[in-house]
Amino acid sequence: MKKILLPLLLAAFALSCTPKAVPAGGSGKAGADIVILYDNDVHCSVDGYAEMAALKAEKKQHTPYVTLVSAGDFVQGGSLGAASKGGYIVEIMNTVGYDFVTLGNHEFDYAIPRLLELTKEQKATVLCCNLIDLKTDRRMYKPYEIVDYGGTKVAFIGAATPYSFNSSTPAYFQDEKGNYVYSLCADTFFDTFQNFVNDARLQGADYVVALTHLGDDVNYDPINAHSLIANTYGIDAILDGHSHSLVPRLMLKNKLGQEVLYSQTGAHFDNIGILTISPDGKITNELVAVKTYGKKDPAVQSVIESKKKAYAELGARKVGHSEVMLPAKDENGDWLVRKYETSLGDLCADAFRFTLGTEIAMLGGGSIRKNLPAGDLRYDDLFNVFPFNNTSCIASLTGQQILDALEYGVGAWPTDFGGFLHVSGMTYEFDASVESPVVYDINKAFARIDAGPRRVFNVRVLDPETGNYEPIDPARTYSVGGTTYLLRDAGDGYEMLKGLGRDTGTPDLDLLEKYIVDYLKGEIRTSQYGQPQERVIQK
């Protein structure tokens, strides 16, 4: 079980208010249904956008009040997004005609300057109440907007997860000295959100619909959609993302005991959500499976096909062959690489160690995003494994620093954690029955490792001369390969590694291709990667 430090109050970021109780719900004046179509965590699965546009047109045949919204994570996670650094995705969404979006943590993956370019190109209004530029002490986007539907006013309020600092790249939020120059209001999040709910109500909003990228992981993220509902009032519905959960409809009690509708659509355009506010004031919703919907908007589909064609030549290039499928997820779609050693994690870690020539390689499971299929491998297959455009890095780490990193990597176990470490040139064991000594703060940044029993033990490093694994020496310095995200930028909260790595400038994707082509001679064999190689053993 993780320990949570009490956060330091960031008074400079807090918004003072004396909230007064404002009940949820409103009166229906519009005379027709208000329909809100929503998605979350599309991650560049662009084929669903033509269905979204067709559903929008269908709904407009019955009511003039149709609004399209996204709860974030749309520009990253697939080849079309990374090849254009999000540009292709924004063009497609503009064609569909989105009205409002909020920011997912992966909207930050191309760095803040690119985020500003993309959101300037976006025709939809970006709503995010908790992103502040500390250099100017101003919010970077509108916190909310009220839409008047024939006399019924609905406020849309957006928020990004405060944990974007670590689930994207921490260095993107810092200056050259490592000081944070952006805030996501972690220490005042609930009050910040409540203030804008109150303000929207005072401005005449009959309903408040929250577009959030918080997720529903109540065990690991203290600031989640459930805790937002429990700590606020005046919100009628939360359309959420981040955890990729399939939540058709869940009614949760707010701070005043009133019910709030909560929903997520899953991920990758498996479903489109439909929230309806009827003239009598009733709020209902449903999910429509994209695969069975059966209608596509031809104009949007044409744009999608043009973007796919632009990428096809690069993506279709053959790079090798695999005798076996290497998994990132299991058959149910649950992450394996975020809590277990996998053959794909072994392959990726080996790619870093061999191509960089280091003694050890370490790679967080969150960097590995998709199964590597059996059969002929195309460049696009490798890209789907490593879609983040991380560059490779080499660091000189003491054995003790490596031990601390390994301890941090299993600190959240058995919860899925993007920082769970896959290794090459090293093996380790861990005992999850031992209480983790890792201490976190509310921002999920690494704080410290307490004295006392540790989960990780029997750490051994490969001796290349003998081929044997020898006990790690805490005082010795080892060369370690990985990504700049892990070894330089403190990704996933690895503050003990911050600034230690040297950026090689070579993308992780290039290393993976080089390893398969040059070291494996284009063939991934079952004899080597058919099963995990027992580098990480959970007792």
SS3 content of the chain, % helix, strand, coil (to 5): 30, 30, 40
* 177 shares a domain with 54: yes
- Per-residue pLDDT of 291-327, as tens digits, reads 999 999 999 999 999 999 888 877 888 999 999 999 9
| pLDDT of res. 2 | 30
Average pLDDT over residues 254-282: 97
Mean pLDDT, the chain, integer:
90
Q: Could you give the angle at the alpha carbon of 65 between the alpha carbons of 64 and 70, nearest 5°? A: 135
Token readout for 123 is: 């025709």
What 3 state SS string does 9-71 have? CCHHHCCCCCCCCCCCCCCCCCCCCEEEEEECCCCCCCCHHHHHHHHHHHHHCCCCEEEEEEC
Note the pTM of the prediction, 2 decimals. Answer: 0.75
Average pLDDT over residues 17-29: 47
| pLDDT of res. 505 | 77
397 domain-assigned = yes
Range 479-501 burial, b when 16+ CB lie within 10 A, else e: bbbbbbbbbbbbbbbbebbbebb
| pLDDT of res. 164 | 87
* 282 shares a domain with 216: yes
| Boundary-marking domain end, from 309, 340, 360 | 309
What 3 state SS string does 280-347 have? CCCEEEEEEEHHHHCCCCHHHHHHHHHHHHHHHHHHCCEEEEECCCECCECCCCCECCCCCCCHHHHH
- Per-residue pLDDT of 111-122, as tens digits, reads 899 999 999 999
Residue 365 in 3-state DSSP?
A: helix
| Boundary-marking domain end, from 286, 309, 332 | 309
Measured in degrees and rounded to the nearest 5, phi and psi for residue 112 equal -60, -45
* 384 shares a domain with 424: yes
| pLDDT of res. 446 | 54
Instruction: Note down the domain range covering 520.
Output: 316-538
| pLDDT of res. 81 | 86
| pLDDT of res. 450 | 79
* 297 shares a domain with 360: no
191 domain-assigned = yes
- Per-residue pLDDT of 463-521, as tens digits, reads 999 999 999 999 999 999 999 999 998 888 898 898 899 888 788 998 999 999 999 99
- Per-residue pLDDT of 348-374, as tens digits, reads 999 999 999 999 999 999 999 999 999
| pLDDT of res. 197 | 98
Q: 414 preceded by cis ω (within 30°)?
A: yes
Rg (CA), the chain: 24
| Boundary-marking domain end, from 259, 284, 309 | 309
Average pLDDT over residues 145-163: 97
374 domain-assigned = yes
Helix axes 48-60, 87-96, angle to 10 degrees: 20
| pLDDT of res. 483 | 95
Domains contained in the chain, number: 2
Average pLDDT over residues 227-233: 98
| pLDDT of res. 449 | 80
* 240 shares a domain with 95: yes
CA distance 430 to 432: 6
Q: Tell me: pLDDT of 149 over 70.
A: yes
Other C-beta atoms within 10 Å of 167: how many?
22
| pLDDT of res. 76 | 85
Between 13-17, 173-177, 291-295, 450-454, the lowest mean confidence (pLDDT) is in 13-17
Classify burial at 112, counting beta carbons within 10 Å of its beta carbon; exposed 0-12, middle 13-18, buried 19 or more: middle
* 461 shares a domain with 352: yes
| pLDDT of res. 410 | 94
71 domain-assigned = yes
18 domain-assigned = no
| pLDDT of res. 447 | 56
- Per-residue pLDDT of 46-76, as tens digits, reads 999 999 999 999 999 999 999 999 999 999 8
- Binning pLDDT at 50, 70 and 90, where does residue 85 land? confident
* 188 shares a domain with 206: yes
| pLDDT of res. 445 | 52
- Binning pLDDT at 50, 70 and 90, where does residue 26 land? low
Q: Tell me: pLDDT of 4 over 50.
A: no
